[in-house]
Amino acid sequence: MSDFHLPGTPTAAKRVFASRLALALACLLLALPAAAATKQARQPFHDDEADAPYKVWDSTPAITMPPLLLDVSDTSVVIEWMTDGDSDGSVRYGEQGLDRTAVAQHEGLVDVGTFHRVVIEGLKPGHTYQYQVASRRVVTVKPYWPERGNTVKGEVGRFTTLDPAKASTRFAAITDTHEKVPRIRTLLADIRKTPEDFVVHLGDTVNYAVSEQQFKDVFLGPTAEELGGTLPMLYVHGNHEYRGAFARQLGIYLHAQDDRFDFERDAGPVHLVAVDTGEDKPDDTNVYAGLNDLRDYRRSGLVRFGQALAAERTRSAPFTVVLGHQPNWGWTGGDNAEWTRLANEAKVDLFIAGHVHRFMHIKPGERGNDFPILVVGQDQVARVEADEHTLKVRVTDSAGKLVDAFTLERRTK
């Protein structure tokens, strides 16, 4: 490099200046690729589809609620999870590998949001499947050329479908957790100590429903974490889930697969009939301000209850167990005795309920019932174990102390 002409500057000083200038230029040239890379990172970034014709941004969602297995049957299951931003939802699953995919969609459109619910159907009774949830960021939804982001995947989990032909079954039931996260964690951690096929929550997960965030924080999130993505849950509708501004949206999160709160499931020798016992006060009670209209809903529920009890499976199953939140059937507009009559005629073996926040064992004949009514207390776990001949019930409190235990023999139906 030739010397710069700097009038009045000694030759040595010129050389020092030139050397420093050359070093600065070299550093500038070395920094250019890094600057270009930084600029590029702010532009659309192709991750899942390197040659996508639409924009793919370097934006990856985070899973904020791990998978919850809900409403398992002999041929299907619901898988729910949440992300921190708008995304789609899909589940890869299979017996030997993740070779099948189910997508969260309605009426031909893929669901986009932070809550993801996928129904997997066509499964085999009593088979174990592995699965993995995935959500890909949806940056913006346009009529044409929506913009996407990257995909987050959950850990691989496993679940087992119910099996009506299985010789035995065992499950656990809790109730009335009422937003108490430590209570949820204590009860479910206790349940995980024994090999249950599924767990039942008998309702009143909240005091009243406020928002998705509240519902996630006080129930869905801790429940999903404690069940570990392997133990399925059956949910029974409580009366407190009827209250609050968000109550009208809870079905999206808690409905059974046919978009109802009443359903039937078969687990080995046990036929389960879940009922929605509604509110505990009449529609015209002042505190509801005319916004409850349960009379016709409960009467249609009574019709479905009768149809379920008249079905062949109720007559052929070794044991029929009714699941409901309120042990007196709730407010039915005067039809309470009719619910009991139908249960008596079908020779129901056991009714498991909650609601009163204390343990009760209502024996046959005490309320016109021909079957025992087990009322689970607020900090208790009821475990049911049945084979083709006997059904055993064991109730413990949160400290593991035995509260009650009894055995039912199979009856002729």
pLDDT digits (tens, 9 = 90+) for 50-77: 678 899 999 999 999 999 999 999 999 9
CATH code: domain of residue 96: 2.60.40.10
| Average pLDDT, integer, range 164-179 | 98
Q: How many domains does the chain have?
A: 2
Radius of gyration of the chain (CA): 30
**pLDDT, mean over the chain:** 90
Residue 314, token pair as written in the block:
């109720």
Q: Are residues 155 and 181 in the same domain?
A: no
Q: Are residues 139 and 188 in the same domain?
A: no
CATH code: domain of residue 284: 3.60.21.10
Is 137 a residue whose pLDDT tops 50? yes
In three-state secondary structure terms, 314 is helix
* In-domain check, residue 43: no
d(CA 310, CA 384): 24
Q: Residue 47: pLDDT band by 50, 70, 90 thresholds?
A: low
Q: Are residues 126 and 174 in the same domain?
A: no
* In-domain check, residue 191: yes
Closest CA to 160 of 122, 198, 193: 198
H-type alpha helices, 108-151: none
Q: Are residues 358 and 335 in the same domain?
A: yes
pLDDT digits (tens, 9 = 90+) for 214-244: 999 999 999 999 999 999 999 999 999 999 9
- According to DSSP, the β-strands at 113-120 and 109-110 are unpaired
Is 42 a residue whose pLDDT tops 80? no
* In-domain check, residue 299: yes
pLDDT digits (tens, 9 = 90+) for 268-322: 999 999 999 999 999 999 999 999 999 999 999 999 999 999 999 999 999 999 9
Domain boundary among 130, 160, 190: 160
Q: Are residues 239 and 388 in the same domain?
A: yes
pLDDT at position 95 is 97
Q: Are residues 156 and 185 in the same domain?
A: no
Domain boundary among 103, 128, 160: 160
Is 43 a residue whose pLDDT tops 50? no
The DSSP call for residue 125 is: T
* In-domain check, residue 25: no
Is 21 a residue whose pLDDT tops 70? no
Q: Are residues 191 and 337 in the same domain?
A: yes
Q: Are residues 250 and 288 in the same domain?
A: yes
Domain boundary among 129, 160, 191: 160
Question: Could you list the residue range(s) of the whole structural domain that residue 108 is in?
Answer: 63-160
Q: Residue 17: pLDDT band by 50, 70, 90 thresholds?
A: very low
pLDDT at position 48 is 65
Q: Residue 371: pLDDT band by 50, 70, 90 thresholds?
A: very high
